[in-house]
């Protein structure tokens, strides 16, 4: 097998045009790696690609719908033509809106599960196929959420997608034993500047107060996307021979008096 984590890599990041996905792509670019950014909005993906190049990496932006296997195939084919065989796949595409489960439209629930769980599996599936076909050592990273481990009211479908994702990752890690492909989960806590809430209604934003009352927002500390990206970079940089189950990243509480 070829490749090791100390050399320049070719990474594919779904949901890489904004928030945590974009920060991950930029962190990889800072290492001088080649990065493929996939997102539904091509113009935003191209803007993110320019930031990756500015950070010192190569980058290619490609339109991607992770719920569509044809779109995924086209994405990987284009990336391989432009950058080479992908040896690092990061699944970050997801979306959610708060609301009581029984009041949400059926299609909204379905969309969150299809993007965050089914789409994530379809996206990494294609990357694994090419690594195995080409004899490349590599790895898969699923970006999860603290909602996978802690009950999170008003985000029931999203929490279910992330809990399912983590169980899938554990199963996939066992499937991939002996192939030279590692599978890991990075589980961030509450993070600012992801762009998720930019179009939430005032009623949807009121969910934040509910989460605080439930003890899910224990203090005012919040992560930044770049901090989550740092955890992902650290996870994929551990030496060969080490298999991480998951990495949880939580915001530090503000220091009193500062």
pLDDT per residue, tens digit, the chain (258 aa), is: 444 444 679 999 999 999 999 999 999 999 999 999 999 999 999 999 999 999 999 999 999 999 999 999 999 999 999 999 999 999 999 999 999 999 999 999 999 999 999 999 999 999 999 999 999 999 999 999 999 999 999 999 999 999 999 999 999 999 999 999 999 999 998 887 676 667 778 887 788 778 888 878 877 778 899 999 999 999 999 998 898 888 998 888 888 776
3-state secondary structure of 51: helix
pTM (2 d.p.): 0.92
Residue numbers annotated as active site: 158
Take residue 23 and report the two structure tokens written for it.
């920060």
Domains in the chain, start-ordered, CATH in brackets? 10-249 (3.40.50.720)
Give the 3-state secondary structure of 180-233.
Answer: CEEEEEEEECCECCCCHHHHCCHHHHCHHHHHHHCCCCCCCCCECHHHHHHHHH
187, 36, 16, 21: which is closest to 126 by C-alpha?
A: 36
Contact indicator for 163, 197 with CB cutoff of 8 Å: no
| Pairing label, strands 181-188, 246-249 | parallel
Could you tell me the CA-to-CA distances from 150 to 100, 115, 163 in Å, in that order?
17, 21, 9
């Amino acid at each position: 097998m070829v490749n090791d984590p100390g050399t320049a890599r070719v990474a594919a990041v779904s949901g890489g045009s904004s928030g945590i996905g974009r920060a991950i792509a930029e962190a990889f670019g800072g290492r001088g790696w080649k990065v493929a950014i996939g997102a539904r909005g091509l113009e935003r993906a191209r803007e993110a690609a320019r930031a990756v190049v500015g950070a010192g990496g190569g980058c290619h932006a490609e339109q991607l719908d992770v719920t569509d296997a044809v779109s995924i195939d086209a994405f990987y084919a284009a990336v391989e033509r432009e950058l080479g065989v992908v040896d690092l796949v990061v699944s970050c595409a997801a979306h959610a809106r708060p609301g009581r489960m029984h009041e949400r439209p059926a299609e909204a629930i379905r969309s969150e599960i299809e993007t965050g769980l089914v789409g994530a599996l379809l996206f990494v599936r294609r990357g694994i196929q090419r690594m195995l076909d080409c004899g490349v050592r590599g790895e898969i990273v699923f970006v999860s959420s603290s909602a996978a481990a802690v009950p999170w009211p008003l985000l029931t479908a999203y929490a279910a997608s992330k809990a399912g994702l983590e169980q899938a990752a554990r199963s996939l890690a066992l499937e991939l034993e002996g192939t030279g492909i590692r599978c890991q989960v990075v589980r961030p806590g509450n993070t600012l500047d992801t762009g998720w809430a930019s179009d939430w209604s005032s009623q949807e934003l009121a969910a934040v107060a509910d989460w605080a009352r439930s003890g899910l927002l224990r203090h005012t500390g919040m992560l930044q996307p770049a901090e989550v990206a740092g955890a992902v970079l650290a996870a994929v940089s551990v030496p060969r021979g080490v298999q991480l189950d998951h990495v949880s990243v939580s915001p530090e509480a503000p220091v009193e008096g500062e």
